[in-house]
Amino acid sequence: MTRPFATGTYTLLRGNTTDDYGDDQDVATVVSGYSSLVGSVVEQSQASRRRVDGTPRDVRRYVGRFAASVPFTADDRLRDDATGDVYVVVEIRKQANPVTGETHRLILTKVT
């Protein structure tokens, strides 16, 4: 199996519960067989302007690349095994790559 260029190892988390007030809360349940995933998460900055007053600001987003065999779904979470940072999967796209084979390209947001 081919893999994207790695920046670390990650653990796939899934699941949620409801708190005393009826609000959803994430549960750090590891998806069986999907810990220590080799992959890449890279921070990207994107300039934007507020609609109200046009104030410029930096919006940070993250792009991840993982093997296409990993069963990602929207709202899954990835925990960086080295730093403990957690990212939420916002968007998933499969991409062909002649060097690494087919990969998942993920748009992520950092939650920790």
pLDDT tens-place string over residues 47-63? 666 677 777 777 778 99
3-class secondary-structure state, position 28: strand
C-alpha 67/C-alpha 59 separation (Å) is 27
C-alpha 11/C-alpha 39 separation (Å) is 10
Residue 106 half-sphere exposure toward CB, CA atoms < 13 A: 30
C-alpha 35/C-alpha 22 separation (Å) is 30
Domain boundaries, the chain: 8-110
pLDDT tens per residue, range 60-87: 789 999 988 999 998 899 999 999 999 9
Pick the CATH number of 8-110 from 3.30.70, 1.10.3470, 2.70.50, 2.40.10: 2.40.10
What pTM does this model have? 0.78
* The Cα angle at residue 13 between residues 62 and 71, in degrees rounded to 5: 80
Quickly state the pLDDT bin for 3 (edges 50, 70, 90). Answer: very low
